[in-house]
Chains A and B, each alone.
Chain A
Amino acid sequence: MTAFLIRRLGFAVITLFAVLTLVFVLVRIVPGDPAQVILGDQASREAIEALRERLGLNLPLYHQYVVFVWGALGGDWGTSMMTGRPVIQEVLNVLPWTLELTFLSLLIGVVIGVPLGVAAAVRRNRFTDYAARIGSLLGLSFPPFVSALLLLLAFSIGLHWFPVISAKSGSLSAWVESITLPAINLGLITAAYITRVTRSAMLEVLQEDYVRTARAKGVPWSVVVWRHALRNALIPVITIIGLYLGILIGNSVLTEIVFSRPGLGKLIVGALNQRDYTMLQGMMVIYTLVVVLVNLATDIAYGIADPRVKFK
Chain B
Amino acid sequence: MKKQLILGLAVAAGLATGFGLDPAQAQKKSLVIGMGSADAGKLDPHLASTTPDKGLLNYIFNGLVRVKPGQASPDFIEPDLAESWTTNANGTEWTFKIRSGVQCHHGYGPFSAEDAAYSIKRASNKATSSYSGDFAAVDKVEAVDGSTLKITLKNPVAGFLGYVANINGGNMVCKKAAEEMGENFGKKPIGTGPFQFAEYQPQQFVKLTANKQYFRGAPVLEDITYRYIPADSSRDLAFQSGELDMIYGKQDQTWVDRTSKLPGVKVKAMEPGELSALYLNITSKPLDDIRVRQAIAHAIDRKAIVQFKGAGSSREAVSVVPSGYLGTDEKSPLYAYDVNKAKALLAEAGYPNGVTVKTIHTTLTGMQTFIEAVQAQLKKANINLEIELVEHATFHAQIRKGLSPIVHYQAARFPVADVYLTQFYDSASNIGTSTAITNFTFCNVADTEIRAARVEMDATKQKALWKTAQEKLVTNVCGIPVYEQLQLWAWKDNLDLGYELNGSLNLSPPVTEKTKFTK
Closest A residue to B227 by beta carbon equals A165
CB within 8 A of A138: which of B2, B130, B411? B2
**B237, A84: Cβ atoms closer than 8 Å:** no
Of A11-19, A41-49, A236-244, A303-311, the one touching chain B: A41-49
Instruction: Identify which of residues 58-100 in chain A touch chain B, using a CB-to-CB cut-off of 8 Å.
Output: 82-85, 90, 93-94
Residues of A within 8 A of B244 (CB): 165
Shortest distance between the CB of A208 and any CB in chain B (Å):
30
B8 engages A262 (CB within 8 Å) = no
**With contact pairs A44-B436, A149-B233, A165-B238 given, residues A83 and B42 touching in the complex (Cβ less than 8 Å):** yes
**Which residues of chain A come closer than 8 Å to B227, judged between CB atoms?**
165, 260
Q: Known interface pairs A46-B435, A191-B1. Does A84 touch B40 (Cβ–Cβ under 8 Å)? A: no
- Beta-carbon contacts under 8 Å, A245-279 to B: 257-263, 266-267, 269-270, 273-275
Q: Is A33 an interface residue (CB 8 A)?
A: yes
Which residues of chain A are near B411, meaning CB under 8 Å? 41
Binary flags per residue of B1-27, CB closer than 8 Å to A gives 1, else 0: 110010011011111100000000000
Which residues of B lie under 8 Å from residue A260 when comparing CB positions? 204, 227-231, 234, 238
B435 neighbours in A (Cβ, 8 Å): 44-46
- State in angstroms the CA–CA spacing of A215 and B35 once bound together: 63
Distance (Å) between the CB of A129 and the closest chain B CB? 15
Interface size on A, residues (CB 8 A): 65
Q: Interface SS of chain A: helix, strand, loop or mixed?
A: helix
Mark interface residues in B53-69 (1 if CB within 8 Å of A CB, else 0).
00000000000000000
Q: In the assembled complex, which residues on chain A have CB atoms less than 8 Å from the CB atom of B243?
A: 163-165
Known contacts A37-B393, A46-B126, A84-B42; is-contact A267 B203 (Cβ 8 Å): yes
* Among listed A153-161, A197-205, A294-302, interface-contacting one: A153-161
Q: Which residue of B lies closest to A275 (CB)?
A: B393
Chain B residues with CB under 8 Å of A49's CB are: 434
Judge if B391 is at the interface, Cβ distance under 8 Å: yes
A138-B2, A158-B12, A163-B243 as given contacts; A42 in contact with B230, CB under 8 Å: no
Which A residues touch B254, using CB under 8 A? none
Given A31-B398, A43-B130: A157 and B38 interface contact (C-beta under 8 Å): no
Query: Are A269 and B38 also in contact (CB < 8 A) when A47-B126, A138-B2 are?
Result: yes
- Chain B residues near A159 (CB-CB < 8 A): 8, 11-12, 15
Contact status A158-B2, CB under 8 Å: no
Contact yes or no, B202 A273, CB < 8 A: no
Verify if A234 is at the interface (C-beta below 8 Å from B). Answer: no
Contact, CB under 8 Å: A154 / B397:
no
Contact of B127 with A82 in the complex, beta carbons under 8 Å: no
For A142, list chain B residues within 8 Å (CB). 2
The minimal Cβ–Cβ distance linking B188 to chain A, given in whole angstroms, is: 12
Q: B49, A40: Cβ atoms under 8 Å? A: yes
Say yes or no: B9 contacts A150, CB within 8 Å: yes
Stretch from B179-187, B368-376, B455-463 forming part of the interface with A: B179-187
CA distance A164 to B32 in the complex (A): 14
- A151: chain B residues at CB < 8 Å are 5, 8
**A84:B396 contact, CB within 8 angstroms:** no
A32, A40, A159, A267, most chain B CB atoms within 10 A: A40
Contact A38 B42 (CB under 8 A): yes
Identify which of residues 164-205 in chain B touch chain A, using a CB-to-CB cut-off of 8 Å: 183-184, 186-187, 201-204
Which chain B residues numbered 30 to 57 have a C-beta less than 8 Å away from chain A? 38-42, 47, 49-50
Docked Cα-Cα span, A308 to B240, in Å, equals 57
Give CA–CA (A157, B183) in the complex, Å: 43
Is the pair A50, B127 in contact by a Cβ cutoff of 8 Å?
yes
- Which residues on A sit within 8 Å (CB–CB) of B203? 93-94, 167, 261-263, 266-267
Most chain A CB inside 10 Å of its own CB: which residue of B11, B184, B394, B396 = B396
Smallest CB gap from A92: residue in B: B202
B38 touches A266 (CB 8 A): yes
B15 x A36 contact (CB < 8 A): no
| A54 is an interface residue with CB less than 8 A from chain B | yes
A33 to B394, CA, bound (A): 8
Tell me, yes or no, whether A118 is within 8 Å of chain B by CB: no
Question: What's the Cα separation between A262 and B40 when bound, in Å?
Answer: 12
- Residue among A40, A54, A260 with most chain B CB within 10 A: A260
Q: A38-B49, A54-B127, A154-B11 are in contact. Are A257 and B1 (CB under 8 A)?
A: no
CA distance A94 to B438 in the complex (A): 37
B423 at interface by CB-CB < 8 Å: yes
**In the complex with contacts A37-B396, A273-B391, A82-B237 CB distance below 8 A:** no
- Chain A residues whose C-beta falls within 8 Å of the C-beta of B233 in the assembled complex: 149, 258
Contacts of A30 in B (CB 8 A): 394
The residue in chain A whose Cβ has the minimal distance to the Cβ of B48 is A40
Q: How far is the CA of A40 from the CA of B396 in the complex (A)?
A: 10
User: Which residues of the other chain, A, contact B42 by a CB distance below 8 angstroms?
Assistant: 38, 82-84
Please determine whether A45 and B433 come into contact, CB atoms closer than 8 angstroms: yes
User: Please, how many angstroms separate the alpha-carbon atoms of A151 and B433 in the complex?
Assistant: 52
Residues A135-150 near B (CB distance < 8 A): 135, 138-139, 142, 145, 147, 149-150
What residue of chain B has the Cβ atom nearest to residue A36's Cβ?
B396
Asked if B220 is an interface residue, CB under 8 A from chain A, the answer is no
Asked if A165 and B16 sit within 8 Å, CB to CB, the answer is: no
Since A31-B397, A165-B243, A262-B202 are in contact, a sample of 6 more A-B pairs with Cβ atoms closer than 8 Å, ordered by chain A residue number, is: A47-B130, A135-B2, A160-B241, A163-B243, A164-B243, A260-B238
- The 7 A-B residue pairs with the shortest CB-CB distance in the complex, in nearest-first order: A158-B12, A40-B49, A154-B8, A32-B393, A262-B203, A164-B238, A45-B436
18 inter-chain pairs at a CB distance below 8 angstroms, sorted by A residue, are A36-B400, A40-B49, A41-B396, A42-B437, A43-B130, A43-B437, A45-B436, A50-B126, A84-B183, A145-B231, A153-B9, A157-B237, A165-B238, A257-B230, A262-B202, A266-B230, A267-B39, A275-B393
